[in-house]
Amino acid sequence: MAAFKSIGKLERFKGAEECFYSDNGYIYTDILGGPKAANYLKNFEARKDDILILSFPKTGTTWIQEIAYLIGTNLDFETAKKVHANSRVHYMERYREENPTDFSKIPSPRFLKTHYPYSLLPTSVKESNCKIICPLRNPKDTIVSYYFFSKANVLMDYSGDLASYVDDFVNDKVIYAPYWKYILECWEKRHQDNIMIVMFEEMKKDLASNVRDVAEFLGKSLSDEDVEKIVKHCSFDSMKDNPAITKVNSTVIRHHISPYMRKGEVGDWKNHFTEDMNEKVDRYIEKYFSDTDLKFTYE
């Protein structure tokens, strides 16, 4: 695991008591991926049948984890409606010193999620060849979604407006940044047999096809009826009305500022960006993605 350097508090993230740079340049807070969590995870023992969602925040984590959970449990809709997602899909680096997750006691197959990039995963994960699903989302919608989440999340408590957030994002000064580096780490691993890339925008366009692709990746067979049931359960409106997904403690998420599931749309950035914001993000995209074969969809 990485070494960390304290950088104190990020100016506009009032909820983060202390922030850190990892030795490869990512930003974490003390309880969201920082040295305590990393030290705890260094002894993590991966299993070959683990299913891991590896994602930058607000790129479709909750969506794809619900799909993977249903497929991996042979369509256990009953549990998916009764047991909260956070108790079914375990957030690896959300470290609670008073009550850390004992991963060894979770029965297989374990469903895990992380906002660590591939380079910061525990060694055993990389060696296990377990299944890793990486959702990607265009940077403009990611920024808008992450901004509202950062405002509502008590552990982040972002104090600035969207214009400030755009500046912080493109200058790699938000928690879990740099986005560009994170996304390119995923993209560079796309040819590994145990890694699957899913595009948020493609899921919005044709969820059924993506469900079938995930099932094939996980070695599961689904009937057309099975796919239809998963698509219905995992539609945005259905998930938004499922308390097993959206019921998050108000001491963590201030729902009056922004709901846990806000819109889930492609192109919502157009409702929020000014021309100046859009130009800044376009320059960011040009700088980091123009020389790659990764292309985003923005509407």
List active site positions: 115
> What pairs with residue 209 in β-bridges?
none
Distance, in Å, from the CA atom of 296 to the CA atom of 19, rounded to the nearest integer, reads 30
Separation of alpha carbons 250 and 225, rounded Å: 37
Radius of gyration of the chain (CA): 18
Nearest CA to 117 out of 96, 132, 103, 127 is that of 132
Q: Measure the CA–CA gap between 93 and 101, rounded to whole angstroms.
A: 10
- Among residues 27, 32, 36, 33, which one has the least CA distance to residue 8? 27
CA–CA separation, 242 and 229 (whole Å): 15
Max CA pair span of the chain = 52
Contacts of 82 (CB under 8 A, 6+ apart): 244
Q: Which two tokens stand for residue 187?
A: 């993209």
Residue 146 is encoded by which pair of tokens? 């992450």
Residue closest to 268 by CA, chosen among 299, 236, 297 = 299
Residue type, 31: I
